[in-house]
A and B are shown apart, each in its own frame.
Chain A
Amino acid sequence: MSTQTIPMPLAAEAQLRPTSLVATLPGIALLFSIGLAGKLLEHAFTVLRTQHHLPLPQIEYVLWAIILGLIVSNTFGVADLFRPGVATYELWLKLGIVLVGARFLLQDVLHIGGLSLALVAVELVLSLSVMTLLGRIFRLPPKLTSLLAIGSSICGVTAIMAAQGAIDPDEEDTSTAIAAILTLGAIALLAFPAIGHLLHMGQQAYGMWAGLAVDNTAESIVTGSLFGPEAGRWAILAKTARSSFIGFVVLGYAVYWASQGQAAVVEHKTLFLWQKFPKFILGFLAISFLATAGFFTHPQLDSLSNLSRWAFLPAFAGVGLRTNLKDLVGQGWRPLIVGVLGEVFIALITLGLVFWSYNHGVAR
């Protein structure tokens, strides 16, 4: 049994290199430039299609921003000058989620959020079990299996990074798990909307499915938004409910690996849970509460909603910019196979749960 303890804050976080505000400006400018270019392209295509009758597809700015980001990162690459600013995509994403709270009545948040929590609980038990089983069948290193299980059952890269400080895996395992999760997120972006249309899913049901099944928060919101703006909002709600479990799952794995003598002991479990809890959810709930209480007029609610879309614009560009296809294909096939099989299982389970909820009147 290890006698090492995890100091608070976690050692892994203490090693992070602070980035000055000025250093982030070039990258932030790049994020907004790509996002705005995506919006302009959407408008240009609409004009060419409607006024000049050219046979062009309708491509939402969401997809354009990702495509442009992918092109930049995989052709020119993201120069070191831009990397600190590109990393702020997480801030824009969370700011967008906080502001979109204006579009939710608190009773909807409690009903659908509560339903999501119940569905997530079922999904968690099944997905963690299946991923662990698949990891053993394919003989993956045990900690890589843990990382894949944590990443695929909760919130992707964020959960993996949270677990990194708690279960002390090899750096290679962490990188492989992140690459596998990002690859699967990219596949979901293409596959989920197609499946949703094929099954004639409603906006709310599809949004919940995307929020429950797609791992990374950014990819989850994009996957929802590609189906429609309403689906994007419901994906946010389901995803935030799912993310709230992160502390419990990471703590469970930390306790397990500590019992094996292969990770530090967690001394203050309540403090650990609070530190891992995604606190931006509280901002989302606060704005939703104010909107429900009639604190804002309808035009003000529209403004808040539009501000959230402006915040999502650079976040979507960041999804494309941080995806390096060379990294994704160089990770080895076994983790990817385990990830694909596990994700397909999770997608089917959550799809079944969502259909059951709507067919039995549990969701409305």
Chain B
Amino acid sequence: MATPDRTRSTQKHSTHKLPINVDLLAIGIGLALAALIRLGVIHQISF
């Protein structure tokens, strides 16, 4: 039988999930940002 401590890690990974596909969201945001930079809407980004 699973102990509470042992199930915690799984619960953390399985229950909190965005309601949309994370991969597609990452691609969508990435391509949108790339388009905005290409069109000059977003200017120089520094880090």
**Which residues of A are at the interface with B, using a C-beta cutoff of 8 A?**
12, 15-20, 24, 83-84, 86-88, 90-91, 94-95, 97-99, 102, 157, 161, 164, 170-172, 174-176, 178-179, 182, 278-280, 282-283, 286-287, 290, 295-296, 299-300, 302-304, 306-307, 309-310, 322, 324, 326-327, 330-331
Contacts and interface: CB of A to CB of B under 8 A. Distances in A.
Given A179-B9, A327-B8, A95 B2 contact: no
Nearest to B28: A283
A282 B27 contact: yes
A303 B45 contact: yes
28 contacts: A16-B17, A19-B18, A19-B19, A83-B16, A88-B18, A91-B25, A91-B26, A94-B22, A94-B23, A95-B29, A99-B30, A171-B10, A172-B2, A175-B10, A182-B9, A279-B24, A280-B22, A282-B27, A283-B30, A286-B27, A287-B31, A287-B34, A303-B42, A306-B46, A309-B47, A322-B12, A324-B8, A331-B6
Contact of A99 (B21, B34, B38, B46): B34
A176 B6 CA distance: 7
Query: DSSP class of B's interface residues: helix, strand, loop or mixed?
Result: helix
A175 B30 contact: no
A102 B34 contact: yes
Given A174-B10, A175-B2, A18 B30 contact: no
Contacts of A12: 14
Given A83-B16, A279-B23, A178 B10 contact: yes
B2 A170 contact: yes
A327 B10 CA distance: 11
Contacts of B10: 164, 171, 174-175, 178
A16 B14 contact: yes
Given A171-B6, A282-B27, A283-B23, 12 more contacts: A15-B14, A19-B16, A83-B12, A90-B22, A97-B26, A178-B10, A182-B9, A278-B23, A290-B34, A303-B43, A303-B44, A310-B45
